[in-house]
Amino acid sequence: VARISGRSHAIGVSNGTCGLHLSMLAANIGPGDEVITTPFSFVASTNCILYVGATPKFVDIDPLTLNLDPDKLEASITSKTRAIVAVETFGHPGGMREVEIIARKHNLTLIEDSCEGFGGKLGAHGDERPIGSFGKVSTFAFYPNKQITTGEGGVIVTDDDDVAAVCRSLRNQGRDGMSWLAHQRLGYNYRMSEINAALGVVQISRLDEILANRRRVAEIYMRRLMDNRSLILPTLGEHDVMSWFVFVVRLNDLFGPSDRDHVIQQLRAEGIGCNNYFPPIHLQPYVRQQLRTKAGDFPICEFVASRTIALPFYTRMTEQDVMRVCDTLDRVLDRTLTNERSRF
C-alpha cells in the first residue's frame, strides 16, 4: 500500500473511519480548532473532526469533480483553521493539487481522505501523483464495496515518521515498542486483524486485474450512456485515472426536485439495485443540531445530492448486465420526463 501510494509508511487499522480519527489525533487537532471539509461525502469525513472536539467548517463543492472547490476554499480560512480534510469523492482526484498548494500557503495540515480512491492517479505524464500521496497523512478504506477489500479494514499512509509512530501506538492501545503491558498514551483497539490483513494481501496481488475490470465496466457504461441527454456522466481530467469505486450519474436540469427518488423507486421495482450517493452531511439531523446548518447553506452540494443515482457496479459485471441496467434506466427516465412535462 505504501508503494502504490508513494509513501514511506503504511499502518493497518480496523477501517477507514478509524484511520481518519487517528490522523486527526496525530495532527494534534482538538477543541477550538476549525477543520475545513466537504459537505458531500460519507459522514466519516466530518465525524473524525467531531471525535476530537474540533469544529467542521464546510466549503461547497466543484460541480464537475464533486470535491472541495479550491476557489471557495481559501476564502473560508480563518485564524482558527488548523487543517483541511479533503475527500476524493467517488475516487475522483480532481482539485487535490490546488488544495495542497493552499494548505501549504496557509501552513495548514492536509488530511487526505482517500477511502474511495485506492489505485487512482492525478496528473499529466511525467507528473503523476497517486491518490494517497497528498498532504501530511492519507487514509484508505477496504470495506467490501471498495476497489479491494479486507472484509473490514483500512490503512493510514504518510511520509512523516512521527505521525506514523503515533498512529501505530494509538491503534494499539497506546503501546510503544515491544512491551505489551506498557502504555505510553491513551489509545484504542483499532488494529487490523491478521485474518483481514491476509485477505487484503491476496486482494492486492490482483489489484491490476481488479482495476482493469472496473475500468472496463465504467467504459461500457460511459459508451452506452454518453448520448443520453437526461444524464450528467462522471467527468475526468485528460491524464487522470479513476479506480472506479462506484458509477454515479446525475439527472440534468430537466427533472424536478422529487424526480430522482421516483427514478430510483422505479428502477428498484424493475429489479435494478441503485441508491442516492450522498445526502448532504450538513443536513443530517445530528449535524444540523450541533453546527446549526440548514438547507441553502451549500447550494451546489444540495443540488448535486438531489440528483445522484449510483448504478449497479462490480468487478465481474458483464456487458449484458450493464446493457440491462441502461435499457431500464432509459425507459424509466423517458416515463419520468413525460410525466414531468404533463404537469404543465
Residue range 235-277, pLDDT digits in tens: 998 889 999 999 999 999 989 879 999 999 999 999 999 999 9
Claim to verify: residue 47 and residue 58 sit in the same structural domain: yes
Q: Which amino acid is at 50?
A: L
The answer on pLDDT for 214 being more than 90 is yes
Place of cell 479486507: 150
Claim to verify: residue 41 and residue 138 sit in the same structural domain: yes
The answer on pLDDT for 60 being more than 80 is yes
Claim to verify: residue 239 and residue 161 sit in the same structural domain: no
Mean pLDDT of the chain: 96
Q: What is the pLDDT of residue 51?
A: 99
Supply φ then ψ for residue 72, to 5 degrees. -90, -20
Claim to verify: residue 28 and residue 163 sit in the same structural domain: yes
Percent of the chain with pLDDT over 70: 98
| CATH assignment of the domain containing 286 | 3.90.1150.10
Q: Are 139 and 165 in contact (CB under 8 A)?
A: no
Q: What is the pTM of this model?
A: 0.95
| CATH assignment of the domain containing 51 | 3.40.640.10
Q: What is the pLDDT of residue 177?
A: 78
Residue 311 forms beta bridges with which residues?
247
Percent of the chain with pLDDT over 90: 93
The answer on pLDDT for 344 being more than 60 is no
Band of residue 124 on the pLDDT scale cut at 50, 70, 90 = low
Question: ω into residue 245 within 30 of 0, thus cis?
Answer: no
Claim to verify: residue 149 and residue 200 sit in the same structural domain: yes
Domain that holds residue 94: 2-204
The answer on pLDDT for 98 being more than 60 is yes
CA atoms within 13 A on the CB side of 168: 14
- Domain termination site, one of 146, 176, 204: 204
Claim to verify: residue 54 and residue 104 sit in the same structural domain: yes
Claim to verify: residue 20 and residue 112 sit in the same structural domain: yes
Q: What is the pLDDT of residue 298?
A: 99
- Domain termination site, one of 168, 183, 204: 204
The answer on pLDDT for 339 being more than 90 is no
Q: Number of structural domains, the chain?
A: 2
Of the candidates 132, 152, 148, which has an alpha carbon nearest to the alpha carbon of residue 210? 148
- Domain termination site, one of 175, 204, 233: 204
